[in-house]
Structure 1
Amino acid sequence: MMLVKPLTNAEVKNAKPQLKDYSLHDGFGLLLYVTKSGGKSWRFRYAHPITGKRQTFTIGRYPEFSLAEAREAREEARRKVARGIDPNEVKKEELSDRRKKHAQQFSVIADNWLKIKITEGIRSNTIRGYEGALKTLNSVLGDEPVHKMNAASTIQAMREFADRPASVEKMIVVLNSVMDYAVNTGVIDHNCLLKIGKAFPAKRSVPMPVMDKGRLPVFLSEWQGLSMWEPIRLCVYFQLLTMVRPSEARLAVWDEIDLDSAVWKIPAERMKGKRPHAVPLSAQAIAVLRNAEKWRRGAFIFPSGKKGDKPIGKCTGQIAIHKTSLSGEVVTHGLRSLASTVLNEEGFNPDVIEAALAHRSRNAIRNIYNRTDYFEQRRMLMQWWGDYVDSAERGELLETKGDKGLRLIG
């Protein structure tokens, strides 16, 4: 074998690119490979222990690997060859193992689960909730291989969040969804975390404030007197009249409105239940829309004051309500409950009320057979409710006979 003069640190450092790639040899198969673009890497040349064919084993880049470190790696590779082991095969196996371990990390599986959820058309705020829960979970569980996770260690890792019962409850729901996904994709055989929720304090249920109907005249009087961006005032009033959810009113667009037929057609993708909902519009609701036309800036019926092509903000209605004396009694979502309470007390058909609220029965069999949307009955109900709200705004409440359910059905 021809003797090779070992390289020096200075020679390695000062090796310059040439017109073609070239190599500087250090001896015993180690060489510094220099590309014409200036990149440098350490390589080990050897004969395959079985076939005898010449092979190249890449140790790593310079200067990440120093000359001394490259020599250590060469000696380790030479020992493998002497024992009949191919260094490249070992490297491939190690890389494969690392990839498998990485693929089994909770954070990786959670990311794959989230990608699938996004394709399912789930509402954006729900996706943001998933992302928030996963960010917290990954801070304590992200590097854990799911096949090694167990109830005891997971509970211990999540103890720091125990003083936030509502957050912990949501995180556990997301955590178990990810683990179920791992089961269904064959990463693990079973989900061992199903019962960990019992180890944390239960979330205290705080009922949503629902304004007493007798306070509606007070609220409307103060609401009309508040100084605010007018589309905010109109949006909350429109929501009250139509009995929809806050987001459904806030994100309403003009293309959904048929003023001639007095109908608002909300597409399925904007509804909580992912079913289209047609809202009969009372005379009062039509009046709100006529007023809103004065503020028209684009597609949205209730545009932002700062960005006309955007809707009013998610919390703007509630922030304005906080300025009234009924701040602790009224939340925007609670306006639906107020309407439901009044209509039920007045004897309207409960099925018609539920249809007006776009509620689905929890009874799956009932949903199959009861497919009517009670549209004409809802039109009568909506006009009665509009008249009721109108009378409250005048400082009085409609006197009723409590027989609305009979008249609507008959």
Structure 2
Amino acid sequence: MRMPKTKLTSLSVGKLPIPPKGQVDYFDTSMPSFGVRLSLSGSRTYFVMTRVYGKVVRLSIGRAKVNTDDIGFSLKDARAKAGELVDIASKGIDPRQLKRIEKEEKEAEANKTFKAVAEKFIKRYVEPRLAPSTKREYDRALFGKEVKAWQSRPVDVITKADVRNLLEKMVRRGSAGAANNRLAYLRKFFNWCAEEDYIEHPPTDRIRPPGPKKIGERVLTEDEIKLVWAAFDAEGGTFGDLFKLLLLTGQRRAEVGGMRRDELKNIDGGNPTWEIPSHRTKNKRPHIIPLSPQAVAIIKHRPVFGDEGLLFTNTGDTPVSGYGKIKKRVDDWVAKNRENACLSPMPSWVLHDLRRTMVTIMNENLKTPPHVVEACVNHVSGAAKMGVAGVYNKALYIEERKKSLNAWGVFVEKLTCL
């Protein structure tokens, strides 16, 4: 390799001839250990020669900035950097090690951004333990637009004030309930961060929910059941059937919405069941639901669409979404119906109230034993399943559940004149 010497100037660096092959180093006459390397591709890179541990080494500084718009080092900055590297080497320190350390520190910082740590939390904690619907809520809480400004910040610099500001913005736009939920998800995430030593103290500590806590207690009356069922009929199609099954089975929205044909057993026989695998239930326990004739009739009515076996899908390969829009349409239908009948508006209700309604009427009207009701909805909070008793009581109560859900189906049928 040729190593000519020349006086380097900002102008001359850009005019140095490109070698016909290989590379050529031009050394600066005003700073003999400093130079610029030209390659056949036309690139120009500043370097400096110095001794490290008694050996002469070549240290790259960076690309030369020839034109105003170029990215790289100006000649002045490159000479200054060369002086720094020579000074570091004269103290017995290898500048290349410092570069590696700086690179590792930058990579470590990148791995500790809010986004990077949140992705690890999802992969290590959420996905192995929680239902897909819960993962979607965590995704919204940790990667949504409200926390967009947090993504590139180190997770350990997120403060209590940051969390409070986020929650206050949600409350101001009328989403106090959503703010409560968001705090719960953030609290779990930051507690995990503290356990994993990403942060010292969770910024969510001692922050109270910003909105009033609403305890689910809405149970639809018999007249309201008739009315919402009529609204489901009016809606028809995918969501009309889905909402009816929410009421007839008492299962959670994500479980019914994700129902697959391979989960349905003996549909044409005398003991039809729906078997939900553990990865699709909230408590990670497999669940068997004896299906009433009323539920079976709806299931058989569902058309086959796509290759994934989903009963409720608009794409063929993913469960339906957009519940809020359809629920509003149902509410509008109900409101108009009551207005036409000169009745007061129906009190607010949510889809989960259909599950609560079934449980309440089973207990109070149909006199179903509490442990059977608990088994019907896959609850583990009953006394028969808790503590020491829960270790030994593995009874599924299949026959009792079948009898109870069939009775509930008849109750709904008589009420709504199916």
Query: Out of 57, 73, 76, which is 2:59 matched to?
Result: 57
Matches within 5 A, 1:385-404: 385-394=408-417
Q: Which residue of 2 aligns with 1:88?
A: 96
In structure 2, the residue matched to 1:7 is 8
Instruction: Give the equivalent residue in structure 1 for 2:377.
Output: 357
Shift, 1:257, TM fit? 1.5
Q: CA deviation at 1:222?
A: 4.3
Please tell me whether the aligned partners of residues 280 and 382 of structure 1 are also in contact (alpha carbons under 8 angstroms): yes
User: What are the superposed Cα offsets for residues 154-205 of structure 1, whole Å, 9 maximum, x if unpaired?
Assistant: 12233322423545544544444444444444455x435463314x635442
Amino acid at match of 1:334: D
Which residue does the alignment assign to 1:372? Answer: 395
Q: Does 1:111 align with 2:119?
A: yes
Within a 5 Å distance, the mapping from 1:164-243 to structure 2 comes to: 164=171, 165-166=176-177, 168-187=179-198, 190-191=200-201, 193=203, 195-198=205-208, 201-205=210-214, 207=216, 209-224=218-233, 226=234, 228-243=235-250
Number of residue equivalences = 379
Task: Tell me if structure 1 keeps the 8 A contact 2:155–2:198.
Answer: no
The residue type equivalent to 1:249 in the other structure is V
Distance apart, 1:119 and its partner CA: 4.3
Give the partner amino acid of 1:257. Answer: L
The CA deviation at 1:68 is: 1.5
Match of 2:142 in 1: 134
| Separation (CA, whole Å) in 1 of partners of 2:76 and 2:82 | 10
Q: What percentage of aligned pairs have identical amino acids?
A: 23
Distance 1:158 1:308, change over 3 A: closer
Q: Shift in Å at residue 337 of structure 1?
A: 1.0
Matched-pair contact (CA < 8 Å) for 1:284–1:386: yes
Q: How has the CA–CA distance of structure 1 residues 206 and 257 changed in structure 2, closer, same or farther, with 3 Å as cutoff?
A: same
Map of 1:43 onto structure 2: 47
Which sits farther off after the overlay, 125-134 or 333-342?
Answer: 125-134
Quick one: which amino acid aligns to residue 330 of structure 2?
I
How far the C-alpha of 1:270 sits from its partner, in A, is 1.5
**How far apart, in 1, do the equivalents of 2:316 and 2:153 lie?**
44
**Post-superposition, which runs of at least 4 consecutive aligned residues in structure 1 deviate over 6 A?**
none
CA drift of 1:378 comes to 0.7
Contact 2:272 2:291 in 1 (8 A): yes
1:306-345 equivalent positions in 2, closer than 5 A = 307-315=315-323, 317-325=326-334, 328-345=347-364
Of 273, 280, 285, which aligns to 2:283? 273
State whether residues 169 and 197 of structure 1, in contact with CA within 8 Å, keep that contact through their aligned partners in structure 2: no
Q: Could you list the per-position Cα deviations for residues 310-341 of structure 1 after superposition, in whole angstroms to 9, with x for gaps in the alignment?
A: 54434065244223326644432211111111
Q: Is residue 156 of structure 1 aligned with residue 179 of structure 2?
A: no
> How much does 1:83 deviate?
4.2
CA distance in 1 between counterparts of 2:105 and 2:83 reads: 23
2:26 aligns with: 24
Distance (whole Å) between structure 2 residues aligned to residue 302 and residue 92 of structure 1: 54
Q: Contact 2:232–2:244 at 8 Å: present in 1 too?
A: no
Distance in 1 (CA, whole Å) between partners of 2:182 and 2:227 is 41
Find the residue that maps to 2:285 and give its secondary structure: coil
Cα separation, 1, equivalents of 2:204 and 2:232: 47
Cα offset, 1:350, TM superposition = 0.6
What CA distance in whole angstroms lies between the structure 1 residues aligned with 2:288 and 2:347? 32
Is the 8 Å Cα contact of residues 118 and 142 (structure 2) preserved in structure 1? yes
- Which residue is equivalent to 1:382? 405
Q: CA deviation at 1:109?
A: 2.9
TM-score by length of 1: 0.81
Distance in 2 separating the partners of 1:157 and 1:309: 39
AA partner of residue 287 (structure 1): A
Query: Structure 1 374/72 Cα, relative in aligned 2: closer, same or farther at 3 Å?
Result: same
Pick closer, same or farther for the CA change 1:288–1:369 going to 2, 3 Å. same
Q: Give the C-alpha shift of residue 391 in structure 1.
A: 0.3
Within 1, Cα distance between the matches of 2:82 and 2:23?
21
Q: What value does the CA root-mean-square deviation take over the aligned residues?
A: 3.1
Alignment gaps of 5+ in structure 1: 396-410
TM-score relative to the length of structure 2: 0.79
